[in-house]
Amino acid sequence: MLQAQHESSFLFPVGVSDFRKLITGNFIYVDKTLGIKHVLQESEISIICRPRRFGKTLFMSMLQHFFADAVDAIPTKTLFHNSLLARQEPKIVEQHQGKYCVIFLTFKDLKSTNFDSAYQGIKQLLWQLYEEHIAVLDSHLLSETEKEQFRRILTKTQDFEETRTALKDLSHFIFKAYQKRVVVLIDEYDTPILSGYLENYYKDIIRFMKGFLGAGLKDNPYVIKTVLTGIIRVAKENLFSDLNNAEVYSVLRDSYSDDFGFTESEVNQLLQKTDLSHQAEDIKKWYNGYKIGTQTIYNPWSIISCLKHKGKFEPYWVNTSANELIRKILAEASAEAKIQLETLMQGGEIICPVDEHITFEDLSEDDTALWSLLLFSGYLTAQNVQLDALSYYQCDLSIPNQEVLSLYRKQLVSSLRDRIGVKRYDAFINHLLTGNLEAFQELLNHILLQTISYFDTQGNQPERFYHGFILGLIATLHDSYHIYSNRESGLGRYDIALIPLDASRLGLVLEFKTIADPKDLETGAKEALKQTKTKLYATELLSAGIKKVLQIGMAFCGKKVAIASQQVEKSL
C-alpha cells in the first residue's frame, strides 16, 4: 500500500532511514508495517540478512518507533494510526505499541582500517547509546556502583571487559530502572566484520563481536525480543555459537520475504502513481530479478531513485558503494569460478551449492563460500532452491538484472587495468581483435609473468586455469562480442569463441593446450590450431554471417605461451 501526506505533490525518500521522517514528511512510501507482526511471530532472536540498501535500517527504525513510547523524547503513538498494521491487526497495536524500552544500535558506518580504530568506533557508538538512556541515572533503583559503571561508558574510560558486556549491562540498567523488559535492535551487525575481512583484522573483530553479542543476547532475562540485520550470516561457530535461541532468515527463506524490497504489485502501484507504467518492462530488466524465498522482489533503492529521476535508467544501487568486496572476490576467484562467472555474464545460470553459514577465511579456497557471499550480498539471485543431505542449498544462480551485470563488467575492467596497466591492457585487447598475434603473444607473456603464480598452474586441471584466465582478460568485450565457452560447433566443442555483433569485424576461435616442457610450446600451439581446423570450430561463426574468422591455437607451460593461427573466410 502506498502512502503520502499530500497526494498531489510528494517527495521520493532516497536515503531516508528514519521512520518518523518518512511518515511525517511528504514522502511517497510503501507501507511495511506488517513486518512488525512477523517480528512478534518469529524467533526470540531474529537475524535477518538482506543486501545493502534494501531498507534494513528503515525497518529497524520502524520497529524502534513501534515498540518505544517515544524516540528522541517525541511520542510515537500517532505514527501508526493509518498503517496497514493498525487496519489489519489492531490488537497487535493495542497490545504492543509503546509498551517497551528499546535499545537501538547501528553499526552501518563502522568501517575501519584496523582493529584499534574499530574498537574506538564501538566505544563511540556505546557512548551515544548510553547518552540516549541517560535518564536511568535518575533512578533510585540503580546502585551507586552501577551508576559509576554507566558513567564510565559516557566518559569512554571503561575497560575492555566493560565494553564487551556493555549491551547486557545497559539492558539490566534499563530493566532495573523502569521494570520493563527490553527490545534490542542491532542494525548492520556485520559491517565491522566485512571491514575486518577487507582490511585484515577479521579474527580480532570476530573475537570481539562474539563476546559482545554473546554477553548481550544469550539467555538475557532483561530482553524480550532481539532483531539483528545484516548482509550475511557469519558462520555459527565464529559468531553465534552462544545463541541457541537465534534463527537466521536469509534470502533463501520465505519468512520476511516481502518486508524488504518491493514486490511486483508495489512497484506497479509506484509506477502508476508517477505516470511511468509504460516503462514497466525496462524497469524489470534493470532492477528486478531478485528472489527472496519464493517472492519476486525489486531493489528498493534503485526503484525509488529511478522514479525520482523520471524513469532514467542508471546503476543507482551499484553506485552507492565502492564495491571493494566484489572487486576482491573477482580478483581472487579460482579458474573454475572465472569460467562460471563468464557463463553468468552471458545471461546463463550455474548450479551450485550455497551455504548460509559463511566463513570469510574459506573464500579463497572454497567456491561455495564465494557463491554464497555473492548471493547474500545481492550480486546473484537463486531459484529452484533445494536443501541437500549435507545441509547445503542446491540453487540455480544467475545475475539478477542489468544493473548488477553492469557492475561485474565494470569491476572486471577496473581490476584488469589496475593489475596490468591501462595502456598495456588496451593494447593487448586491440592486438587480439585485429589479429596482430605477434604483439598479442608478447603482451600475453608479459601478463602471465606479472600476474600468475607458478602454483596457479599446477592443479589437477591446468588447462582450465588458463581457460578461466583468458576468459577473465576478454570479459570486457561483452558490449561488442558474444563470448562463448565450451560450446558445440562443427565436429566438437571449442574452448572460446568471440563472435562480433558487427559481422564485418574479425571473429575468433581459441583452443588451448597445456605443455609439460617449454621446448614443446610451438608444437603444442600448432596441435591446438590443427584441432580448430579438423573439428571445424569456425562453423558457428561462419554460419552467423561472420566474413573472416581467425582460428588460434594457444599452448601454455607455466608462465609462457606460444600461439599459432590461420584465418578462414566465408565463401561466397
Q: Bridge-partner residues for 551, per DSSP?
A: 509, 566
Q: Which three cell numbers stand for residue 417?
A: 587495468
Q: Which three cell numbers stand for residue 141?
A: 533503583
Helix (H) or strand (E) holding 298: strand 295-298
Same domain, yes or no, for 346 and 277?
Answer: no
- Note whether residue 306 is domain-resident: yes
In a domain, 21, yes or no: no
Q: Which secondary-structure segment (H or E) carries 405?
A: helix 402-420
192 shares a domain with 141: yes
* C-alpha to C-alpha distance for 104 and 184, rounded to whole angstroms: 6
CATH code, domain carrying 114: 3.40.50
- Do residues 234 and 102 both lie within one domain? yes
Q: Is residue 86 part of a domain?
A: no
Q: Identify whether 256 is part of a domain.
A: no
End residue of a domain, out of 194, 219, 249: 249
Same domain flag for 106 and 234: yes
pLDDT of residue 459: 52
Cα separation, 446 vs 435, in Å, equals: 18
Helical packing angle, 402-420 and 437-451, nearest 10°:
90
Boundary of a domain, candidates 319, 340, 363? 319
Residue 455: its pLDDT value, please?
Answer: 42
Q: Does 274 lie in the same domain as 244?
A: no
Q: Indicate whether 300 and 436 sit together in one domain.
A: no
Tell me, yes or no, whether 158 and 55 share the same domain: yes
**CA nearest to 558, candidates 419, 428, 452:** 452
**Is residue 376 within 8 Å of 213, Cβ to Cβ?**
no
Count of CB atoms situated within 10 Å of the CB of 383: 12
Q: What are phi and psi of 349, to 5 degrees?
A: -120, 155
Burial 548-568 (b: 16+ CB within 10 A, else e): bbbbbbbbbbbbebbbbbeeb
How many whole angstroms separate alpha carbon 217 and alpha carbon 234? Answer: 16
Q: Are residues 431 and 292 in the same domain?
A: no
Contact 218, 242 (CB under 8 A): yes
What per-residue confidence (pLDDT) applies to 29? 92
Q: Can you read off the three cell numbers belonging to residue 218?
A: 544469550
Same domain, 490 and 548: yes
Residue 421 near residue 415, CB atoms below 8 Å: no
Q: Dihedrals φ, ψ of 239, to 5°?
A: -130, -40
3-state SS, residue 394: strand
Question: What angle (nearest 5°) sits at the alpha carbon of residue 507, between those of residues 502 and 510?
Answer: 150
Report the distance separating Cα 512 and Cα 466, nearest Å: 8
For residues 558 and 453, the answer to whether their CB atoms sit within 8 Å is no
Task: Report how far apart the first and last C-alpha atoms of the chain are (Å, whole number).
Answer: 62
Cell of 125: 557508538
Domain that holds residue 348: 331-404
CA angle 289, 295, 301 (to 5 degrees): 55
CA angle in degrees (0–180, nearest 5) for 370-375-380: 110
pLDDT in tens, 70-125: 999 999 999 999 999 999 999 999 999 999 999 999 999 999 999 999 999 999 99
Residue 80: inside a domain? no
Residue from 161, 212, 165 nearest 186 by CA: 212
User: pLDDT tens digits, residue range 302-327?
Assistant: 999 999 999 999 999 987 776 777 77
User: 288 with 432, same domain?
Assistant: no
Within a domain: residue 81?
Answer: no
Residue 19 within a domain: no
Beta-bridge mates of residue 567: 550
Cell of 115: 582493529
Same structural domain for residues 209 and 125? Answer: yes
The reply to whether 397 and 494 lie within a common domain is no
Q: What is the mean pLDDT of each run of 10 residues along the chain (572 residues)?
A: 59 93 93 97 93 94 97 95 95 96 96 96 97 96 96 96 97 96 96 91 92 92 96 72 82 94 95 93 91 93 94 88 73 78 85 84 76 91 88 91 87 75 90 95 90 55 80 84 88 93 95 93 96 93 94 94 92 62
Last residue of a domain, one of 271, 287, 319: 319
381 forms bridges with which residues in the sheet?
398
How many domains does one find in the chain?
Answer: 4
Give the Cα separation of 562 and 527 in Å (integer): 11
Q: Is residue 355 part of a domain?
A: yes
Alpha helices, H only, 515-569: 521-534, 539-543
323's torsion region: left (phi>0), alpha (psi -120 to 50) or beta? left
